[in-house]
Structure 1
Amino acid sequence: MHPQHQHELKHGLLRGLICIVLAGVLLLVINLAAAAKPVDRSTLLFPYYDASEVLNSTVTHHYAKDTAALLAQLEQLGNSTAKYCQGDLPIDALKTQYSKTYLVWLELSAVVMGPMLQNNTVRQIDFRPLRVNLLERAIKKQPQGAEAMALVGSPAKGFPAIEYLLGQPGFKAASPQCNYAQEVVRDMTRTVADLNWQPAKPNSEEDADSLKADMQLYFNQLVGATHNLAWERMEKPLLKSRDDTAKGGAPDWPYAELGLTENAWKAQWQGIADLLVVSSQTVPNADQQVVPLEAYLRGLGKIGLADTLLVHSNAVTAAVKANDVSKPASVEQSVKASKALKGFLETEVAKGLNVSIQFSSSDGD
């Protein structure tokens, strides 16, 4: 072949290859844009959901699922703690596993229902503030086993105890602190394993009044969880950090030593959002997915309420995602968005569902 023809052929092949690559990139961009585009609810036909379907879907596809995930993480935390206490794992690896476990717990416990409410699980394994004097007393006693740990008060064990010990210089392999930490993880694992999530049986003898009461409790817990995120988790630390800074001190954000502050807020919000809005591209099937509040409202024909709920929820999602403790204004925006959502839930949605707002277990002072 003539050299000039070879040169032209090479250039032609190169141009063709470039066109193919550019076309592939363009297709990828289009697909990503389509995936990121919010679901057009007007194209989806939502069925009427019975209240029992809503509640049972949360039990099976949210609470039971997240509980299993937490148990798996606690098992890993137990293994990691044992290895660290034997001198076979660096402290940073243990901190990483603790962080993973705690974030799963925050998502599960964001909206407290069912056996978590009945067993007072949050108090048992995440009592705050930690009582350091009681913790030190428990370490000296070196309790072993379920019966001995049952005698240790909640303020001296659970996640806060592990979190505290991870930052102490005396927390070393083969130390009394290490032995106690292993018992604490075992105690938490037993507590979570006791969460027996059972959906109500179809066609049970549960009367309409009882079902209405269950739905009202669920709704109030959702409202209370939103309040807890806005006030207890974000606004109170924000105000305290501002006071500390004004006095010349360093801001003190929750979980800052583990670098978990923003991720903790995200995890807690995710646990709420999963129960509020539709996250898939399809209409939820109660036998396979959570039926969130938005879907329930659409099934009732309350489209305006559902649309506004989606707007408020998306605003919280965007704000929480942008949280940065080095920029307090970002946290303030999350507080405002969460409060707006809570206000909408306890007024407009409560009125639309004909439920009354009552004190919930998630309410704070």
Structure 2
Amino acid sequence: MRAAHRLATLLLALAAPLAAAAAPAPYVMPSQWMAALTEARLAPGYAGLGERVEALGAALQATCAGRPAALAAARVRWREAQLALRALSPLPFGPVLETRVLRRIDFWPTRPAQIERSIAQYAQSPDDTARIGLSARGLPAIEYLLFDAGRAPLADDPAACRYAAWLAQDAAAALADTATGWPAWRAALAEADPEREARLIGDGINILIGSTEVLRLKYLDKPLRPRSGPAETDAWRSATARDGLLAYFGGLRAGLQGGEGWPGLTAVMRGRGLLVLADRVDVRLDAVAAALADLPGDLGAEAARPAAENLMTELGRLQRLLAEDVADAMKVTVGFGESDGD
């Protein structure tokens, strides 16, 4: 009897991990994925970005007023706002996509000539800002004014300082407009019908494919292979380029893998039985993270080229996996272009 009892206990112990391994992953609807991303990252992230841009605006106004140490504070506030923006920019969902706010606050590459012309235009007609184009607005334009070594410091250039302060005010207003859309977006997710669910998964996968492409092409390949002149990566003037790439990838990874206690795209995949494919996405993300960790601070230096090339290779592998295997398995038509995420 004791031997039989021990045998039964042993069989139960052996069967337990097998049963756990065979247990299906919970089914996650696309609307649940988007709702979790909204609550965990997007709504609080954009609220925080708005606060940082407002703090930047206050520091710029203090700079224009001639307050000591205000310029240094404005540079710190800009870096904080920039990294908050980069963590959100690969996830243009909901009201962000509807309002196109990223086009208004994140036009890059920077166009200094247009910014300089807009400074003069704003000085002449500060109440007529409708004709100031997107290429002369946003955080990248403020970076140029705050950090470019070839122009006078803002504290010594009143016209440029007032324009920079207005740029921060303009960006804060755009973010405030976007913030009002989150409750309606979240409520609509709770009532998604099958047609909306299919649209959400299609749009979600396409946006993440596009954001992977933007990271590879826009922020690495194109600036590191200029047609002429030195490499000028995103936020190079403020020496924030590498940190910006890390923040961007962190946002992209959150969309793909979720976070502690909330699902990403891989959870949606596992709920549909695509366990091996979801594991492959995890492996590719780990490879990109490792390649990012190898990047030196100065991305434009010749010594950085091998690490940058390796990172672009790993991003290309991730992008192909998403655009081919994942999209096919999830029955999604790929139609996202690189410029659509700007």
Q: TM-score range, shorter-chain basis?
A: 0.7 to 0.9
Equivalent position of 1:70 in the other structure: 49
Q: Which amino acid aligns with 2:31?
A: S
Conserved? CA contact 1:49–1:299, under 8 Å: yes
Who wins on radius of gyration, i.e. which is larger? 1
Shift of 1:214: 2.2
- After TM superposition, the score normalised by the length of structure 1 is 0.77
Equivalent position of 1:350 in the other structure: 327
Conserved? CA contact 1:234–1:335, under 8 Å: yes
> Residues 364 and 154 of structure 1: is their aligned pair in 2 closer, same or farther, counting only changes over 3 Å?
closer
Equivalent position of 2:288 in the other structure: 316
Please list the CA deviations of residues 145-191 of structure 1 after superposition, one character each: whole Å capped at 9, or x if unmatched: 99733332111221122112112215225701111111110000000
Q: How many angstroms apart in 1 are the aligned matches of 2:341 and 2:46?
A: 24
Conserved? CA contact 2:25–2:271, under 8 Å: yes
Conserved? CA contact 1:226–1:342, under 8 Å: yes
Query: Mapping of 1:1-365 within 5 angstroms?
Result: 46-88=25-67, 89-142=69-122, 148-166=128-146, 167=148, 168-169=151-152, 171-172=154-155, 175-195=158-178, 196-197=181-182, 198-201=185-188, 204=191, 206-240=192-226, 250-280=230-260, 284=261, 289=262, 291-324=263-296, 325=299, 326=301, 327-360=304-337, 362-363=339-340
Q: How many angstroms apart in 1 are the aligned matches of 2:76 and 2:327?
A: 41
Q: How many angstroms apart in 2 are the aligned matches of 1:203 and 1:328?
A: 47
Structure 1 gaps, min length 5:
1-40
Q: Which amino acid aligns with 1:304?
A: V
Shift of 1:251: 4.2
Aligned residues: percent identity? 27
Q: How many angstroms apart in 1 are the aligned matches of 2:268 and 2:112?
A: 45
Q: Which amino acid aligns with 1:74?
A: V
Q: CA RMSD in A?
A: 2.7
> Residues 203 and 233 of structure 1: is their aligned pair in 2 closer, same or farther, counting only changes over 3 Å?
closer
Shift of 1:143: 6.6
Shift of 1:335: 0.6
> Residues 357 and 328 of structure 1: is their aligned pair in 2 closer, same or farther, counting only changes over 3 Å?
same
Please list the CA deviations of residues 255-314 of structure 1 after superposition, one character each: whole Å capped at 9, or x if unmatched: 22211111111111111001112443xxx3xxxx3x201111122221101111100011
Q: How many angstroms apart in 2 are the aligned matches of 1:116 and 1:202?
A: 15
Structure 2 gaps, min length 5:
1-19
Q: How many angstroms apart in 2 are the aligned matches of 1:203 and 1:68?
A: 22
- After TM superposition, the score normalised by the length of structure 2 is 0.82
Conserved? CA contact 2:255–2:265, under 8 Å: yes
Shift of 1:237: 2.0
Q: How many angstroms apart in 1 are the aligned matches of 2:211 and 2:323?
A: 12
Q: How many angstroms apart in 1 are the aligned matches of 2:111 and 2:203?
A: 31
Q: Which amino acid aligns with 2:268?
A: Y
Q: How many angstroms apart in 2 are the aligned matches of 1:148 and 1:352?
A: 51
